[in-house]
Every structure is written in C-alpha cells, then in structure tokens.
Chains A and B, each alone.
Chain A
Amino acid sequence: MSEIPQRQAYGIALADYGAINPQVVVLDADVSSSTLTKYFAERFPGRFFNLGVTEASMVNVGVGLALGGAIPFVNTFAALLTLRACEQIRTCVAYACTNVKLIGGYAGLSDYKDGPTHFATNDVALMRAMPNMVVLAPADNTEAALLVPVIAEHEGPVYMRISRAAVPDVFGNGHTVRIGQGTLVRPGNDVTIIGSGSMVGRCVQAAELLAKEGISARVLSMTSIKPLDVELVCQAAEETGALVTAEDHTILGGLGSAVAEALAERCPTPIEFVGLKDTFAETGPDPDTLMDAWGLAVSDVAAAVRRVLQRKR
C-alpha cells in the first residue's frame, strides 16, 4: 500500500507541474482541501480559482479559460463533477472540443465515510459516452503523478478519476504511461485479469493467490479506459482465452463494458465482470473493508477467474 493517498500524489504532482507549465490553471469547487489542489493554490494563487459550490458554472469557467489559451484543470468530487455538470461537460467541453481537463476526486467507493451520495460509481460510464473525451483511471500514485503532464500536453478534453484513498503500489521508477496504452503488469497464460484504477493492485494480489492454485493469470492495467488499448486486450484474449475485468465502478458502462465491446467486435471470448452490480453500496468503516464488502475483494476477483475458466473453451 502506498504511503500517501492517491489524491495527495496527484495534488503534489499538479503543484510541481504548475512550476513547469505556466499555462496550467486550476479550478476547484470549495473542496481544494479535499482534492488537495490546495498545494497548487498555495504556490500559484494567481492561477487558482475557487468557484464555490457551482460545479456547472465551474466547468464553463474552465471552458472560457481554455478558449482564452490556458490549460484548466477543473477539480471536484467525481460524482459532483460528472453528474451536476454533466450537461456542461457534454455541450461545452465534449461537443465544443475545448481543452478542459476534468479531474474527479473521491472516485469509486473511496470516500467510504460519506456514503453513496458521495460515491462516484457511474462517472466512467458517463464520460465514456462523451465523444472527444479521453477517460483515465491511474492504477497507483506513480501513474497519478505521471498523468498530470500527459493530460496537460494532450490537446482536447480529458477526464481522470482519482481515489481519495491510499491504493496499492503497482509501478516503480521508469514506468511510463500514455493515453490509449494499457500496461502488462504480470505475465500469465491461463486467463487475463484487466483492472483499472484502485483495482489494479487487487488484481495483482488475486493473481498471486491464483498462482498457488496453479492458475497462471496475466494482469493488465487499463489506465486508459478511453481510448482503449484494443490490441493489448485482443492479444490477451487470443493468448489466454478468458478474461475478467475489475473496476471500482458499476459494471454497467465502465471498463468491463469497454473491454466486452472490443471483444464482441474483434475476438469473442468468455468474460466475467467484477464491480458494483447495479447498486449504490453503503457507508463503511474504511475504503478497503467497504470494497471487500461490496464485491471488490481480492477473493471476488479470484472467484470470477475460477468462474470464467469453467467457461473457457
């Protein structure tokens, strides 16, 4: 497990990148102490704009900044950003193809203590359905930090979700991440587990568990949910013949759906989905206990692998 929460890794990286790229400006909706964009605000107060609880307007202010030549990182809780400002994102960011970077904090169940109002469990589905939008879910703190310059230097709309919690470390020094590119985390031949965001570390743990049963599970990190690395997915499908997807999100419309769409079109392969089963979950004592209780446990990933292997031809 990482020493600091993913949001902190993002907040530090954003502030550091602010020193390199003067075009970057940061907007927040009264939660900069939570998303940790406050680090940027402290260092670059003239390039930080707190819009209060006006998420819809904040996205539009970001649009205006982008039209004026700035690179706006627009931050708040992922559920508020993608639900309350959904129409602004559709019309003024995606349709108008403005250079706005939408960063949704408190992704998935990571805001365990505040309950389902605050959980973002359909943000990926909503953002995937926006033409022109890139959708990213960093697997760990290394990726959360690496993606800040990647997002800033990509011309066009981007959505990235960030966990409030500490997530397992997956990648070390020397890792690189690119839009549209997945990463092989662990080799394997019998089955492939594809994870995104905070689930990637759990997928690795599941693969370790399964190895003790003699099952060789490949693990892919699909940080770039859109555009999806279809080649990597299809290669895994052809070489291992069975897949499991795992995401801190509803199974409707997220990573699992993206992978299934690619498979159905290119290389139909048995697949099982780990994620929230069309439900809202509940408040919990801590992120990991909550995820375990709602079908996102390492044992749930392993069980999905055993199920899909029974369907493998």
Chain B
Amino acid sequence: MHDHPESLIRELQKRARQIRLDVLDMVYRRGAGHPGGSFSCADMLAALYFHHLKIDPARPDWPERDRFLLSKGHAAAALYSALAQRGFFPIEDLQHWGHLGAHLQGHPDRLKTPGVEMSSGFLGHGLSIAVGMALAQRLHGPRYHIYVMMSDGDMQSGVAWEGALAAAKFKTSEVTVLMDYNDVQLDGPTHDIMPLEPLANKWRAFGFAVIEINGHDLRQILEALDTALEIHSLPTVIIAHTTKGKGVSFMENSAKWHGAVPNEAEYARARAELKGYVL
C-alpha cells in the first residue's frame, strides 16, 4: 500500500468537485457538451492533474513530462477544467469554450490548447497512439509515462483492440490505460447496446495487467496509479467502475445525459447538488 494522507484526498475531492462544477457551467452556458461522461471521469482527472502526473504548466512542451491522452474526447470540458485549474491557461478561457476564435474546441485540439497532448473526438485512437509514444521514447528518450483515458465506447471500436494487440506485442509498460467504465453510452446501457463483459478477462487475454477499482474513490485511484508504475513487464489497465453523471442525482446512470444540456431549473438543481456533494 502507498501512503496517501487524508489532506491530499480532501484536496483532490475539492478539485474533482470543481471540475464537475466547471463542466456544468460550461455545458449550460454553451448549450452543448457531454456532462455524463465528464462527471464520471472527474475524480480520475483530479488525481492525475493535481497529484500524479509529472507536468509543468509553465512548460507544456517539457520533454520529460508525462503524457495524458483523453481518448474519450467528448469529456473535453472536464479536461479543460483540469488544465485551467492546473494553470495551463486562464480559468476565464473556460467561458469561451466553443466560441469562434477560442482555443477550446468542442473536442480537444492539440494545436490550439496548451496542455492537450493529442487531438481526439472519434473514439478508439488513444491506445495505439500511446504505443507509438512508448516506442519513440525507447529510441530517442527521454523517458516518461503515458496515460490513456478510455471509455465504454472506446472499447467497442476495433482500432482500440488493435492497439491492445500492439501494446502486448511491444510490452509497453510505459502505458497505463484508465478505463472510465460507466456502463452507459449515448443510446443506452453499454451492456445492452454492445456488451463488453467479461472485460477484465479480455484485457488479461490481450496481455495487460488488470487493476479494478471504484473510479470515484480517490484512495483507490491513487493506489492503482502508483501500482501501475511498479509493473515493468506489461502494460496496465485500470478498470475504473464509475457512474455516468456522477454527482448529480438525476443525471446518474442515465444515457439521456450523455450529451444533453440542462434547462435553467435542472442547472440550478445540479449546481446545488454538486456544491453539497462530497464523496
């Protein structure tokens, strides 16, 4: 077990709550976005950006930084909040998400937004890109770790499993997948639309070390991230069981809130719930 003080857990919980509040504001203000999948990954983003990742907002292209790839690019708002809170760009930029001329695109754009390592939006790409990054650093250095956040939908795309084949072939222990497994996708429950189970066994069969956690328990998230760094022969997947829409009662486990925008009353209620929300 790795020791993570209670004060750190509290701090990260606050960060996660701020990510959810920012996402809610951003989606409401813009009239577009993906609250459900942004809320489900907020705790993991908080753990990464406010504790685990080796990054420096003053040097977004620092060669030795860890790389984070948001393969589930529709959670862009959550990533933007984390990057802004971490200091990659001003917090007020979040208000301009999706405006003409703004650097914050509907989905992440590596050419426009400081701290975004790779453009994403269509699902499935992150893992094979991470494999390529691992191969590059073996040739040219410097060494760093690569994190890929994937979703249920990511794991339904063929290219993701092609990436898993490649990760296994090259034994890319430099790569850790965080799977935000909320079991809800745009059209309905993942287990109805296109089941992924037995998911842990699939990853194991593909040559990954598998860690299963509650993706909203920051202690478990931090522990899993530390453990993954100690696995030197295999790539690791952290299957994080999460709740889509986590933190807002009427959004939880609801496919409707994959890409829906709250009305004024819903916004007010969601905001109140998030303000009072502590894990």
Contacts and interface: CB of A to CB of B under 8 A. Distances in A.
Interface of A: 23, 25, 46-47, 49, 51-52, 54, 56-58, 60-70, 72, 87-88, 91-92, 95-97
Given A56-B158, A91-B121, A64 B128 contact: yes
Given A49-B170, A67-B133, A87-B122, 9 more contacts: A54-B166, A57-B163, A61-B131, A64-B132, A65-B133, A67-B67, A72-B132, A92-B119, A96-B109
B1 interface: no
Nearest to B129: A64
Nearest to B162: A57
Interface string B225-250: 00000000000000000000000000
A69 B140 contact: yes
A65 B135 contact: yes
A57 B117 contact: no
B140 A23 contact: yes
Contacts of A23: 140
A65 B136 contact: yes
B130 interface: yes
Contacts of B32: none
B122 A91 contact: yes
B135 A61 contact: yes
B134 A56 contact: no
B111 interface: yes
A95 B110 CA distance: 10
Main secondary structure of the interface of B (DSSP, over half): helix
Contact of B132 (A65, A91, A96, A97): A65
Contacts of B137: 68
B166 A61 contact: yes
A57 B159 CA distance: 6
Contacts, number: 102
B132 A68 contact: yes
Interface of B: 67, 109-111, 117-122, 125, 128-137, 139-140, 158-159, 162-163, 165-166, 170
B135 A60 contact: no
Most buried by A among B121, B122, B136: B136
A68 B162 contact: no
A62 B132 contact: yes
Contacts of A49: 135, 170
Given A61-B128, A63-B132, A68-B140, A54 B117 contact: no
Contacts of A56: 128, 158-159, 162
Given A51-B166, A52-B165, A96-B119, A91 B125 contact: yes
A41 to B, nearest CB: 15
B111 A61 contact: no
A63 B125 CA distance: 10
A70 B136 contact: yes
Nearest to A95: B119
A60 B129 contact: yes
Given A54-B165, A54-B166, A60 B159 contact: yes
A72 B129 CA distance: 12
Given A49-B135, A54-B166, A57-B163, A67 B129 contact: yes
Nearest to A85: B159
Contact of A88 (B67, B131, B159, B165): B159
A87 B129 CA distance: 14
A67 B136 contact: yes
B125 A60 contact: yes
Given A88-B125, A91-B121, A91-B122, A64 B162 contact: no
B139 A91 contact: no
Contacts of A60: 125, 128-129, 131-132, 159, 163
Contacts of A65: 132-133, 135-136
Contacts of A87: 122
Contacts of A66: 132, 136
Contacts of A72: 132
18 contacts: A23-B140, A25-B135, A25-B136, A54-B166, A56-B159, A57-B159, A61-B135, A63-B118, A64-B129, A64-B134, A64-B135, A66-B132, A67-B117, A67-B133, A68-B140, A69-B136, A91-B119, A92-B118
